[in-house]
Amino acid sequence: MQAILREHIEKIVPLTDDEFTFVLSHFTAKSYKKRESLIREGESVKYAYFVVSGLLKLVYNDTSGREHIVSFAMEDWWESDFQAYYTQTKASMSLQCLEDTEVFCLSFEDYRKLCSGLQKMEHFFLEKAIGGHIGSQQRILSFITANAKERYEQLLKRYPSLFQRVPKALLASYLGVSRETLSRLGRS
């Protein structure tokens, strides 16, 4: 697991062995079973998670109890209710396992210590935050400009493995279409 985290960070900033030992001391490794929750709506958000293996869904339950998929997170991906994490407020979303999942957990306090203790890591998180911001802007753009068919095709092109790993009903929720529409798109 450690090698995967190191490789992930070193795509952006190279680290010496001593630096990686320092970095690693801020993380905790954890394993979760399918259907377990990492974040529950209304509770504190202690950690941001780096996914080593497995698959998570970030969901928002509206006032009528309907579940909406905000995002999926798989290997090499960071996930949290970032608003609650960075502002240290209660979760407005839930994070749950769609598969057995291994993660590295980083508490907000350790995140801050890591940034102030090693400038390279502040640079690393800046690059990740920019990536997240760009990704979100692209998704907004697809909501504004693309129809359901185009959103389906964009997702299939970017993350083909999701179509094998995620139940159709969840994919439909992520795309903001009905399950019937998704089935029709999948056949065309």
Among 28, 138, 178, 183, binds a second copy (CB under 8 A): 138
Instruction: Tell me whether residue 97 or residue 121 sits nearer to a second copy (CB atom).
Output: 121
d(CA 18, CA 22): 6
Instruction: Tell me whether residue 6 or residue 139 sits nearer to a second copy (CB atom).
Output: 139
Q: Which of 27, 2, 1, 10 is nearest to 110 (CA)?
A: 27
Q: Does residue 119 belong to the site contacting a second copy (CB under 8 A)?
A: yes
Site for a second copy in 64-83 (CB under 8 A): 68-70, 82-83
Instruction: Tell me whether residue 53 or residue 77 sits nearer to a second copy (CB atom).
Output: 77
Rounded to 5 degrees, φ, ψ at 128 are: -65, -40
Residue 142, amino acid: S
d(CA 8, CA 52): 10
Cβ(78)–Cβ(50) below 8 Å:
yes
The β-bridge partners of 94 are 59
Q: Select the span of 26-34, 39-47, 137-145, 163-171 touching a second copy (CB under 8 A).
A: 137-145
Instruction: Tell me whether residue 34 or residue 132 sits nearer to a second copy (CB atom).
Output: 132
Q: Does residue 126 belong to the site contacting a second copy (CB under 8 A)?
A: yes
Q: How many helices (H) and strands (E) does the chain have?
A: 9, 8
Query: To the nearest whole angstrom, how small is the minimum distance from the Cβ of residue 134 to a second copy?
Result: 5
The residues, ordered by sequence, that sit 6+ positions from 119 with a Cβ below 8 Å of its Cβ are none
Binding flags for a second copy, 29-68, as an x/- string (CB under 8 A):
-------------------------------x-x-----x
Q: Does residue 176 belong to the site contacting a second copy (CB under 8 A)?
A: yes
Instruction: Tell me whether residue 31 or residue 71 sits nearer to a second copy (CB atom).
Output: 71
Classify residue 86 by burial, with Cβ atoms within 10 Å: 0-12, 13-18, 19+: middle
Q: Does residue 140 belong to the site contacting a second copy (CB under 8 A)?
A: yes
Rounded to 5 degrees, φ, ψ at 143 are: -70, -40
Contacting positions for a second copy (CB under 8 A): 60, 62, 68-70, 82-83, 86, 115, 119, 122-123, 125-126, 129-130, 132-134, 136-141, 143-145, 176
